[in-house]
Amino acid sequence: MKTIYCIQPFSASGHHDAYADMYCKLLIELGYRVILIADGNRVNIAQELHAYGKKGLFYFFYRQSETVHEISDTPAKNCSKLRRIARICKIYLFNTMRYAFARIKIYIPPRKRRHIQDTLLTQGSIEEIRITTGYSPNHVFILYFDYYLHGEQQSLQNVPTPWTGLLFNAKGIKRGDYYLYKALSLPLCSGIAMFDPRYENIYKKTFPEKNFAIFPDVQNSDLTEYEPDWCGAIKDKAAGRTVVTLPGSLATRKGVITLLKVAYSCTNAPLFFVFCGPLSWDAFADSPAADRELLRAGIDSPPENCYFYLQYIENESERNHLFLISDIIFAVYEDFDLSSGTVGKAAVFGKPVLVQKGGLMERFVSKGPFGEAVQSGDVQAIIAALQHIRSGRQPYHFAQYAAEISLDRLRECLGSFMRSLEQYKDPYDVCPRP
């Protein structure tokens, strides 16, 4: 049985943890032993993975430390403190429902700001886990490859075995991203998987010796047996009006200000606007003062047709209830050419979605179609599109895209990709195989 080390360098952050859970389960179902290594212990370990752990098919390591953002934003003068933190950091091994300690040395160079979690990908850390479990990695699978493209190149060079990764933003190949070329040129890089089909052929032509694959952006549609209290509060306040929801973290690129302006312009329309997700004021530091004041006023004293729930909902099955109670999903992001899991969720739950014109999301939404595309920032165009969707004149079809991003489709793509990676030869043969 082959062993895969899955690296989750950005855990405790919404869909990234959901991917860790999903990909680990699928790899085990495909016949691999999986060792998950995560930064932090908040990755949702499903009951199926606990069961696999009892059979020795799944191991879970994580490191406890201060939060990533506090560490990465700390000035150089505080690096001595970070080194003291690093010395007491540990990872934990999950095996047969028991936890055992295994120490990893973490080195933070003086006078430099570094993410502590880059040490998840060092020869020393992988060796520690190999010794603890008794299983050498046949391959390393990085579940958020983008994290290592800028400023973390040394980590990739230290991986002592063939590795692959899941690339969220694939357009770097088109604009000549130096760090991406450098990473993919490393001898132990066997190839990558991505969500964006527009660039697959460019990657294959540029690196013909590597393996590339397009994965469907599968979305978990599980629901808790109970309905969260905040869902009831939204429905009560909506009072039968059409619920327009902006889900996920409320960052500037999500069009938060634009949707709030739409809400203020639609006070007499049968529309109810929901802003659901954590908000960081730092993200709006570069926004015009008038926009920041508008947002502050909206949150402090919400219009009658708005509801703000600014908490991070850790349980994805609980978060899914938001899509269930919504009528229209808002995803008119700004300067965002990629896709979003929000589009997949909308298709799975049969909710029409409003997206930015000209990006990858419009391409996906047009497959039904199961939504509309408008110019980002255009308040009047958004209002017109919402009225059009609400009128019911346009029939929407969700089944085609929902089938394309199904779990069965991902299992098929992942299995084919992993089989192609098995043909990749380790040019250094530096990691002994059991």
Instruction: Domain ranges for the chain, please list them.
Output: 3-218+407-421, 229-404
- Looking at the domain that runs over 3-218+407-421, which CATH code has it been given? 3.40.50.11930
C-alpha distances in Å from residue 415, one per residue of 22, 295, 408, 418: 14, 46, 11, 5
Q: Is the dihedral of CA 170, 176, 180, 181 positive or negative?
A: positive
Q: CATH topology of 3-218+407-421 equal to that of 229-404?
A: yes
pLDDT at 426: 57
pLDDT at 152: 60
Half-sphere exposure of 7 (CA within 13 A, CB side): 27
Q: Is 14 left (phi over 0), alpha (psi -120 to 50) or beta?
A: left
According to DSSP, the residues that pair with 329 across neighbouring strands are 245, 353
Q: Output Rg (C-alpha) for the chain, integer angstroms.
A: 23
C-alpha distances in Å from residue 399, one per residue of 123, 129, 259, 327: 45, 43, 28, 17
What lies within 8 Å, CB to CB, of 78 at 6+ separation is none
pLDDT at 330: 98
Rounded Cα distance between 159 and 155, Å, is 7
What lies within 8 Å, CB to CB, of 366 at 6+ separation is 373
pLDDT at 425: 65
Which tokens sit at 231?
A: 């869902």
CATH superfamily of 229-404: Glycogen Phosphorylase B; (3.40.50.2000)
pLDDT at 105: 30
Which tokens sit at 164?
A: 């692959």
Tens digits of pLDDT across the chain (434 residues): 999 999 888 765 567 777 888 899 999 999 999 998 887 666 667 777 888 888 889 988 876 543 332 222 223 333 333 333 333 333 333 332 222 323 333 222 222 223 334 456 777 778 888 888 899 999 999 998 988 886 566 678 878 889 999 999 888 877 677 788 888 999 999 999 999 999 999 999 999 999 999 999 998 888 999 999 999 999 999 999 999 999 998 988 999 999 999 999 999 999 999 999 999 888 898 899 999 999 999 999 999 999 999 998 878 889 999 999 999 999 999 988 888 889 999 999 999 999 999 889 999 999 889 999 999 999 999 999 999 999 999 999 999 999 999 999 999 999 999 999 987 765 545 444 44
Q: In what side-by-side order are the strands of the sheet with 328-331? A: 306-309, 271-276, 242-247, 328-331, 353-356, 371-374
Q: Is the dihedral of CA 29, 322, 341, 144 positive or negative?
A: negative
Question: Locate tokens 């997206």: which residue?
Answer: 355
Predicted structure pTM score: 0.79
| Helix, strand, coil percentages for the chain (3-state, nearest 5) | 45, 20, 40
Q: Is the dihedral of CA 311, 317, 320, 322 positive or negative?
A: negative
Cα 174–chain centre separation: 22
Q: How many residues does the chain have?
A: 434
C-alpha distances in Å from residue 241, one per residue of 102, 193, 245, 304: 55, 42, 12, 12
Pinpoint the alpha helices (H) of 301-391: 316-325, 341-348, 360-365, 379-391
Rounded Cα distance between 263 and 255, Å, is 12
pLDDT at 132: 86
271-276 and 98-103 beta bridge pairing: unpaired
* Single-letter residue type at 265: S
CB 75 within 8 A of CB 52: no
Rounded Cα distance between 219 and 398, Å, is 14
CB 274 within 8 A of CB 244: yes
Rounded Cα distance between 378 and 265, Å, is 12
